[in-house]
Chain A
Amino acid sequence: MAPLLEVRDLVTAYGTIEALKGVSLTVDKGSITCLLGPNGAGKTTLMFSITGILTPRRGSIRLAGADITGRSPSAVVGRGIALVPENRLVFPGMTVRDNLYAGAYQRRDRAGIEADVDRMLARFPVLQARVGQEAGTLSGGEQQMLAVARALMSRPTLLLMDEPSLGLAPLVVAEIFRIIAELNREGVSIFLVEQNAHLALQVAHHFYLMVQGLVTFSGDPGSLAEDEVIRRAYLGSA
């Protein structure tokens, strides 16, 4: 079966500095795939390249066989990919409700959008409690929930998540990962960048290690001893 997302020999540069030096990986439909690696490895650059915020120099990105390399962010959303960015990036001056509406911007089915908003609020009760509040006043964990909910409003087939556990308390992180597993059971494919290798390996079906712009390892969670994974992920040794 052809993978849902296929990245091949991707090169993305900032001026003369190549942040991605030829990255190749795939995400299978219905799976949770995880990308681990130390800071500065280029994981966020990869996310931004897939979602069109950065334009790759070389290589290709295919979603369900269709080439989406270099498309604009809104076009990528239109194809069914949504990113929950590092640092959440909620709209601080807009209410929680408006943040959700923003996520559904490309959809025209009013009734469906309203139903989804209700579903999101039901799934994330903390948001229900703060639905009329400005998103900037929410705590880190609440903003993370909001960012996930906002991304889900576009009904993506592939959900990208960049470091969802960053800066959050363990209880909140556990909740986030519970939701990740739940979403996956409902059919959403997930590509996850994480620092927390331990938690990530518990949910992932497949994982990659990335160091200095290149994929150095690909395998299932059992294929490498966990402490070896962590060592490579944090210290970046090949």
Chain B
Amino acid sequence: MLADLAQNTLDGLGAGASYAVLALGFTLVFGVLRLANLAYGPAIMLGAYAATWVSLHAPVPLLALAAITVAGSVAAGAYVERVCFAPHRRARAGSGPAGAAAMAAMVASFAVWMQLEEAATLALPRHLYAFPPLTTGPPLSLGPLALRMETPIGLGVAAAVCAALWWMLYRARFGLAVRAVIERPAAAGLSGIDVSRVSAAAFAVASSVGGVGGFLVAATHGQVTPHLGMWTTLKGMLAMMIGGLGSLPGAVAGGMVLGVLESHSQWYLGPQARDLTAYLLLFALLAWRSRGLARRG
């Protein structure tokens, strides 16, 4: 019984590492950049699909696949930024109710979500594709427990990404510009910051973090499906919500908690109940936190 508990927790941490990286990306987009980007998950999926496509045609090393996933996510993300967010940025800073422009951008992002999903399924139409696994070989034996090597690797990646992001945002010149643009875009421009360049670059950083998360997911699951876009969105959002919006370490913690929670609920209640629990948790968190996430005024 105890061994089960420990094993599930260990497995949960492994899954949680991927969720943590996804949550970091989502925190960047939704919490820091404050963009309601519904095409974020689908852009990640496109990156993973690009890597899958390549892996189907040539035996490429894992690191290269990771790079392709990131590149694909960044490319798709750039498209999303151009089409959905850049055009409405002016409107947000200038005249008109800020809500209207933000709503239009969000809606545009879900239109692009539809586009990206269809593009992915056109390129790779099957319901499931194998993805090269992160590790081959048997798990490490720690007494009665089995440690899949994905777990420490994933945890290491999550920690590294978190540290890198934190340093970028709070210690680097670029991060200063990002924070300025988010707080007061007009004042940022007046300080000499190129608002559209910085916004695009920040978006690219968020996309690459998403790409890393997407690669981890694909490589630890050993497969990709057309649901990956929606899946990463829900997991990422949920982990972000658990960890508290806008906090980078919180995102990592949220990802871990989600991973462990899912691992246990799947063990005791089965896969459908696992998904149901996840959605219920997201809904409950949103409903409970609604005061904190309430509309202004």
- Chain A: residues with CB nearer than 8 A to chain B? 14, 51-53, 72-74, 77-78, 82-83, 85, 89-94, 98, 101-103, 105-106, 150-151, 154
Given A53-B186, A85-B187, A91-B187, CB of A74 within 8 Å of CB of B180:
no
Q: Does B190 contact A (CB under 8 A)?
A: yes
How many A-B contacts are there with CB distance less than 8 Å? 70
C-alpha gap A89/B180 in the complex (Å): 11
C-alpha gap A94/B184 in the complex (Å): 11
- Assess whether A93 is in contact with B183, with CB atoms less than 8 Å apart: yes
Majority secondary structure of chain B interface residues (helix, strand, loop or mixed): helix
Q: How far is the CB of A216 from chain B (nearest CB, A)?
A: 27
Of the 9-residue stretches B103-111, B121-129, B191-199, which lies at the interface with chain A?
B191-199
Most chain B beta carbons < 10 A, residue from A52, A72, A102, A105: A102
Question: Contact string, B177-216, partner A, CB cutoff 8 A, digits 1/0?
Answer: 1011001101111111111000000000000000000000
- Chain B: residues with CB nearer than 8 A to chain A? 95, 173, 176-177, 179-180, 183-184, 186-195
C-alpha gap A82/B195 in the complex (Å): 16
Q: How far is the CB of B186 from chain A (nearest CB, A)?
A: 6
Q: How far is the CB of B120 from chain A (nearest CB, A)?
A: 36
C-alpha gap A52/B190 in the complex (Å): 9
- Assess whether B183 is in contact with A105, with CB atoms less than 8 Å apart: no
- Assess whether A89 is in contact with B192, with CB atoms less than 8 Å apart: no
- Assess whether A150 is in contact with B191, with CB atoms less than 8 Å apart: yes
Q: How far is the CB of B187 from chain A (nearest CB, A)?
A: 4
- Assess whether B190 is in contact with A73, with CB atoms less than 8 Å apart: yes
- Assess whether B191 is in contact with A154, with CB atoms less than 8 Å apart: yes
C-alpha gap A105/B195 in the complex (Å): 12
- Assess whether B183 is in contact with A94, with CB atoms less than 8 Å apart: yes
